[in-house]
Structures are given as C-alpha cells and as structure tokens.
A and B are shown apart, each in its own frame.
Chain A
C-alpha cells in the first residue's frame, strides 16, 4: 500500500526511536510507518547496523530473557516456535558464594540500593530490576494501577505534593511516590509564609530510575525549585524522560501531567514541541523563568490555571491544584 504522506527525514525517524516526538507528531509518523516498507527498513537501519542485528540474534538465541514459551500457543506462534532455550546454569548459588567471598574480604556489599527495587504500594507492578544471571522469571503484563507522583529529591514544593496525593487517595486512587533520593526534602516555607504551613520529608516508594510510565493511569510531576534535577543533563533527567516517553508510548497513552513548576520537566522532555498548549507556575526567579523554558521548547504557553492537550495536563500550581486533582479524577474515571 502506498503511504498517504511523504516519507519523514532521518531526524524524524531517529526522534521516533528515541521517543522524543510530540504526541501528535508521533501519531502522524506512525500512521505513515504503517504502510511504508521503505521507512520500516530505514527505521531498523537507524536503530542499529546490519552486523549488530545479526550479532544480537546470534547471541540472544536461547537467552532466558525471551518471554515464556508457554505464551507461544496463546499467541498462535507454536507452528513456528523456535527451539527451546538451552538449559542455563542456576546462578543463584554461585552469586551467593561470590557475594559471600567478597564479603569475607571485607567489602561492604549489600548496602544501599535495595529500596530502588522495592515494589512500593503497588506489588502488582513488581520491581523492574535487572535480570542478571539469566534467572529472569518473565515479568507479568504491565497493568495500570493508580497514579505515579514524582517529586524532586530536594526542594520539591510540599503543597503541590500533599494536595495532589491526598486529593487522589481520598478518592480511592492508589498513589505511588517516586524520586531520586530517600528521603526527599521539600523546600522550606518561604519567609513570611502564613503561619501553620508545615512541610515534612517524604519517603518515596520507588526510585525514579526503576519505575515505568506505562504502569500507571497517570503520572504527575510536582513543582518546586528542585525540578532542575529532572531537567539538567544527568541520570535523573534521563529517568524522567524515560518515564514520560513510556507513558506517552502506551496505547492508549497514560496521562502525563504536571503542576506548578513541574511542566518544565515535560518541556525538557520535548512534550510541547510544535506549539502544544501548556501552562506552568508563571512567576519564579527571575520572573517568568519557567514560562520562558516552556516557550523555548516549543510550547504555546497559555495563562490558564489548567491546560489540557491530549494526554498532557498542566496546571499553574497552588490555587489551581485542587481543580487539577478534580480534572484528573474526571479523566481517570473510565480507568477506575
């Protein structure tokens, strides 16, 4: 079949692979890709060279990272099922022995990162940890459960967090909190803030680097000066981008939302390229700095309290947070 639109350039295809296209742009490109054999091949060539594709097939044949072969029949694949994976050694005991040996040598193994792999309040989604040693049991199909609330490790805006979380939970929505530090520390109340405003450290359920955006019904990036952690180059920003890309790549896409200064994270993940309507906290230091970041990254900045554009919902912060929660609850109704 002849595709109805002109072939995209290599840059567009590369951005498609990287998950860096806006939602409308990706939809247009995938519509073209559906019927264009030439672009299907170009996409593969951009992903890797022919020798690397061959090398991958050769080395992964028989790997336990394949999904369980029991699914072959359900997928009607049994007629041409590949050979059963070769029996692999059980590395469990070996890893124990090695770890014990290393520990005997006085090294401080075992500390530190265990919380990264904890399932948090959502055991159904399971840990997304690596499968070193070839003992991958084969994860279950991701099921969307609740809302992922992302806060900065330092200087997140506590009122954003507490309003969103309590608003969702009191309406029966399961909330999973993710960040890149434990505990995450909020910004102190501004000088002269009304008496009675309190903040507290927050113990996130999961490390942002191990959550997947497609496991939730929605993702909310809360605001605060600390959102720069998710915008400046580094592993935290990479994790944030991946969560956003996974969410938007899901079908139907997961709602990707942000309040206060949070939309800046979405802007740096190129969600607003091409004039997508969005809003954010309009002030900041210097004044308008967050708005400027959205505009620089292609957003059509709108001075409304809440702005929706497809699966993207942005809100300006404090006085709009409750309305934002109500809007999100309304959008999540079909999923509940």
Chain B
C-alpha cells in the first residue's frame, strides 16, 4: 500500500479540529462509501453495511479526538482497512450472537489476532480505487460543461472513437480531444490530491 500521502495528512490533521465541519464532511464523503462497499462485498445486508460504516467512522472520530492519526500504524488506507476488517469481524460475531471482540484493542494486535486474507485486502483495494475515482469524477464533473463531460466519458471510459463522439455530440474532433484531455488532467490532479503521490 502507498505511504500516507502528505495531502491526506493535511486532511487527517484537520480532523483533529472538532469544529472543522467541512473536513469531516469531506472525510465521510470519501471514506464512508469505501467501508460500506467493503461490507457489502462481504455479504452484509444494506442496513448492516451501514452499521459497519457508522461504527468504523465513529472509531476514526474517537481515534482522532484522542491523539490524531498515528503514522506508526502505517498508511491511513491500510489503517482504515484494519479497522474495517476488525469491525466487520465484530459485527459478524454479533450477528451470529457470539461475544464480540474488544473494540478498544490495539490495531496492531488485532492484525495478528485476526489476519486479513489476501482476498480481503484485494476487496478493500478494489473498493478504495472505485471510490477514489468516483469521488474525483464527481468533483471534476462539476468543473466542466456537460458536453465536455460527455465527450470525456464516451471516449475515455467507454472507448468510443473521437470522430464518432464528435458527430454524436455536435462537436469538432479537436473539441472532443480537448475535452477528454482536460477532464483527464483534472481527474489526475484530484486523484493525486487524495493519494498524495504520483498517479500510477
């Protein structure tokens, strides 16, 4: 997993301010769906996945309030995965009416006690990537005219030919290439902002 990016440190550092509503909204908007999707991929019902999301984010809030994010725990992406994995374990235990684990245990100990499989981690990475791009696309879309967005989507995401898209949208071929390149450049910047390192 990538190291904790500088920009994320900035957001995470901002979360220590209990009154920074904008940062919390941003955080919940980005990471909430990742946890939710992870829970759903593990077979949780909608309401259970929502519960999982809530307890994980509440745990993040509590951790931030205590001491902020601890870099020693590794990347935030990985730390959140560990937390989600642990809470999922607890939730499943509760659903099976088995005694839950101790939610306050040290995360590193939990890793050892309840190791995540490669498949778990792959699921998490998949959700994280999807959410990262979904978030970036939502932000980027607001920055462009709708025709620009459509031209980008049809060519870059759906792989249609530039001249065909130009014909369908009533644009010049040059305008289509400008559209897809400008949107892609914006997406790349947004993804880099969240990842904090050069996009792959």
Contacts of A111 in B (CB 8 A): 19, 21
Closest Cβ–Cβ distance, residue B54 to chain A (whole Å): 5
> Are B36 and A94 interface neighbours, CB within 8 A?
yes
Q: How many Å lie between the Cα of A249 and that of B151 in the bound state?
A: 14
Q: Can you list, as one digit per residue, whether each of A14-58 has a CB less than 8 Å from chain B (1) or not (0)?
A: 001111000000000011011000001001101111011101110
Partner of B156, one of A53, A93, A141: A53
Contacts of B191 in A (CB 8 A): 52
Closest Cβ–Cβ distance, residue B61 to chain A (whole Å): 5
- The B contact surface, by secondary structure, is helix
Asked if B139 is at the interface of the complex by the 8 Å CB criterion, the answer is yes
> Are B149 and A67 interface neighbours, CB within 8 A?
yes
Contacts of A198 in B (CB 8 A): none
Asked if B113 is at the interface of the complex by the 8 Å CB criterion, the answer is no
Closest-by-CB residue of A relative to B169 is A75
Q: How many Å lie between the Cα of A51 and that of B145 in the bound state?
A: 26
Q: How many Å lie between the Cα of A33 and that of B175 in the bound state?
A: 9
> Are A89 and B46 interface neighbours, CB within 8 A?
yes
Known: A56-B156, A80-B160. A51 touches B200 (CB 8 A): yes
Closest-by-CB residue of A relative to B46 is A89
Closest-by-CB residue of A relative to B150 is A67
Interface residues on A, range: 35 or more
Q: How many Å lie between the Cα of A298 and that of B130 in the bound state?
A: 43
Closest Cβ–Cβ distance, residue A118 to chain B (whole Å): 15
Contacts of B29 in A (CB 8 A): 95, 130, 132-133
Closest Cβ–Cβ distance, residue A130 to chain B (whole Å): 5
Closest Cβ–Cβ distance, residue B17 to chain A (whole Å): 9
Asked if B182 is at the interface of the complex by the 8 Å CB criterion, the answer is yes
Q: How many Å lie between the Cα of A46 and that of B172 in the bound state?
A: 20
Residues of B within 8 A of A (CB): 18-19, 21-22, 24-25, 28-30, 32-33, 36-37, 40, 46, 49-50, 53-54, 57-58, 61-62, 65, 129-130, 132-135, 137-139, 141-150, 153-154, 156-160, 162, 168-169, 172-175, 177-178, 180-182, 184-185, 187-188, 191, 199-200
